[in-house]
Amino acid sequence: MDYALLLANFATTDAQPSWSQQRLLHECLRAAIRSGTLHAGCRLLATRQLAAELGMARNTILYAFEQLATEGFVVTDRRGTFVAHLNVAPPQRAGAGTLGHPGLSARAACALPPSDPATMSAFAPGVPSLDDFPIAIWRRLLDRAWRALAASQLNYGDPAGEPALRSAIADHLRAARGVLCEPSQVFITDGTQNALDLCSRSLADAGDVVWIENPGYRGALTAFRNAELRVVAIDVDEHGLAPSAADWRDHPPKLIYVTPSHQYPFGGVLSVCRRLALIEQAKAVGALIIEDDYDSEFRYDGPPLSAMQGLAPNAPVLYLGTFSKTMFPALRIGFMVVPPSLATPLAQYVARSAPRGRAADQLALAEFLRTGQFATHLRRMRRLYRQRRDALGAAVERHFGASATLCGSSAGIHLALVLGAEVPDARVSAAALEQGMIVNALSSHAIGPAQAARNGFVLGYAQVPASAMDASVRQLAALVQQYRQKAAPL
């Protein structure tokens, strides 16, 4: 492959004059991969050689490769950097459909997970205890809402959601999460995934830089990739997002996605100092922070930290919440709290792009909140999940001993079980699935190769009764033992 010629052709036909060399190279290689000019499995020239061939700094090449890896176009291992098997047809053959996934766009095929496990099983992350949801109360509220519904409410609804629900959510967030908001800033969504899609499409343009935590939440990555944003993976440490001065200088973001109250998947809590610093720096570069507060209603050791959104007046923060963990995922109701200046333009955008409906569900939920039944349910679930978390901690100690570390167990409904590098967590995860147990590999949450992934598992414990915890953990420990790579002989 003549990379210099490839780049020269791309520069004259497709590039924009304002692009940096890094952007030019990244876009050029991405286009070559998409068109099939660089085919799946093909090894890219080593960064040092490519730098010499193109007359560019090696760092420029490294950043472009890292970006491609983050987006899933290349994979890197000890042997070098290879074009990923995207299972997509090159665009010129698009009429034939996408290879391996007929009818899917390349964008959609890239977003497909390697497997699609069910979520009703021991340790499935993010699923609350469905058996403990008060279905009878919910059915009554729904019934009442439907009976009170006027025919006019069968029409398209308010694009931002039912006023009664927006108001009830604003009251709850002010009291429970320290969020500064008026009902006019609250937008009802079909859950956080829908909110992330909306944010990606309405608050950034294709090619704009979005920061994502690494390791991080793949649902956010999917939304950002779908909107063709430039995803930059920022490493987290035990306290959460930890951007360096170089990150701010070299990749100033338009959007920053962060899970400050319970980093996903490691569970770090971003300290107040870090939160304030992030807000200040975001203001300085004109970035908007997307705070995903997905499970902070469950906090077991001490009072919760308030949301970032309410930490400083006029903080450039858009706050996301969901009822998937506090109620049930199939409800598909979440919300965003947008800065006041965005409320009107976003309402206009949503009205055109995502008409709302399901008034009865929203009104029943407003009633659930307003009458205090939501708070009662949360209190009950907090007690139950604390018991389950404690049982999990004790079982891990019994069956893994000092070989495992638990992270992020002070909040939420999952924790991270961190194991040594000798545990091939992805293989154990696949083997566990065959035995009917969902344990997502920690290494699968790495976003690009920027950080050596830690090995271990994300363990969702909300659905596992305390009495069943020991047996499930014993089963997992036996599998880990079976797959643990033997130390090489000296």
Q: Which residues bind ligand PLP (CB under 6 A)?
A: 126, 191-193, 217, 219, 259, 264, 292, 294, 322, 324, 329, 334
Q: Of 440 and 472, which has the nearer Cβ to ligand PLP? A: 440
Q: Of 191 and 449, which has the nearer Cβ to ligand PLP? A: 191
User: Least distance in Å: CB of 201 to ligand PLP?
Assistant: 16
The torsion of the CA quartet 175, 178, 184, 187, rounded to 10 degrees, works out to: -100
CB hemisphere CA count around 133 (13 angstroms): 19
Q: Of 42 and 176, which has the nearer Cβ to ligand PLP? A: 176
Which of 233, 301, 197, 241 is closest to 72 using CA atoms? Answer: 233
Cα dist from 50 to 13, 47, 126, 294, whole Å: 21, 5, 43, 43
φ/ψ of residue 419, rounded to 5: -120, 175
Residue 74's beta-bridge partner residues?
A: 83
Q: CA–CA separation, 268 vs 261, rounded Å?
A: 7
User: Least distance in Å: CB of 206 to ligand PLP?
Assistant: 23
Q: Of 412 and 424, which has the nearer Cβ to ligand PLP? A: 412
Q: Of 252 and 329, which has the nearer Cβ to ligand PLP? A: 329
Q: Of 66 and 197, which has the nearer Cβ to ligand PLP? A: 197
Strand positions, DSSP E, 117-249:
186-189, 209-214, 230-237, 240-241
User: Least distance in Å: CB of 418 to ligand PLP?
Assistant: 18
Instruction: Look at strands 255-258 and 209-214 and give their pairing.
Output: parallel
Say how many Å lie between the first and final Cα of the chain, rounded.
42
User: Least distance in Å: CB of 447 to ligand PLP?
Assistant: 13
User: Least distance in Å: CB of 337 to ligand PLP?
Assistant: 15
Q: Of 119 and 405, which has the nearer Cβ to ligand PLP? A: 119
User: Least distance in Å: CB of 241 to ligand PLP?
Assistant: 13
Which of 151, 260, 160, 161 is closest to 202 using CA atoms? Answer: 160
Q: Check whether the bond before 265 is cis (ω within 30° of 0).
A: yes
CB atoms within 10 A of CB 76: 16
User: Least distance in Å: CB of 334 to ligand PLP?
Assistant: 4
Q: Of 218 and 251, which has the nearer Cβ to ligand PLP? A: 218
Q: CA–CA separation, 169 vs 366, rounded Å?
A: 8
The residue of the chain with the least Cβ separation from ligand PLP equals: 126
Q: Of 330 and 488, which has the nearer Cβ to ligand PLP? A: 330
Q: CA–CA separation, 440 vs 337, rounded Å?
A: 30
Helix (H, G, I), strand (E, B) or coil at 121: coil
User: Least distance in Å: CB of 332 to ligand PLP?
Assistant: 7
Q: Of 141 and 223, which has the nearer Cβ to ligand PLP? A: 223
Helix (H, G, I), strand (E, B) or coil at 385: helix
Residue 109: which H helix or E strand, with range? helix 106-110
User: Least distance in Å: CB of 228 to ligand PLP?
Assistant: 21
User: Least distance in Å: CB of 220 to ligand PLP?
Assistant: 7
Q: CA–CA separation, 54 vs 154, rounded Å?
A: 61
φ/ψ of residue 441, rounded to 5: -70, 135
User: Least distance in Å: CB of 196 to ligand PLP?
Assistant: 8
User: Least distance in Å: CB of 361 to ligand PLP?
Assistant: 14
CB 413 within 8 A of CB 325: yes
Which own/partner contact pairs does 345-351 have at CB distance under 8 Å and 24+ positions apart? 346/160, 346/187, 346/202, 347/159, 347/160, 347/187, 349/202, 350/159, 350/160, 350/187, 350/198, 350/202, 351/159
Dump the DSSP string for 10-79.
HHHHT--TT--HHHHHHHHHHHHHHHTSS-TTPBPPPHHHHHHHHT--HHHHHHHHHHHHHHTSEEEETT
Q: Of 29 and 124, which has the nearer Cβ to ligand PLP? A: 124
User: Least distance in Å: CB of 269 to ligand PLP?
Assistant: 14
Q: Of 61 and 331, which has the nearer Cβ to ligand PLP? A: 331
Q: Of 334 and 448, which has the nearer Cβ to ligand PLP? A: 334
Cα dist from 224 to 220, 233, 396, whole Å: 6, 12, 35
Q: CA–CA separation, 203 vs 146, rounded Å?
A: 35
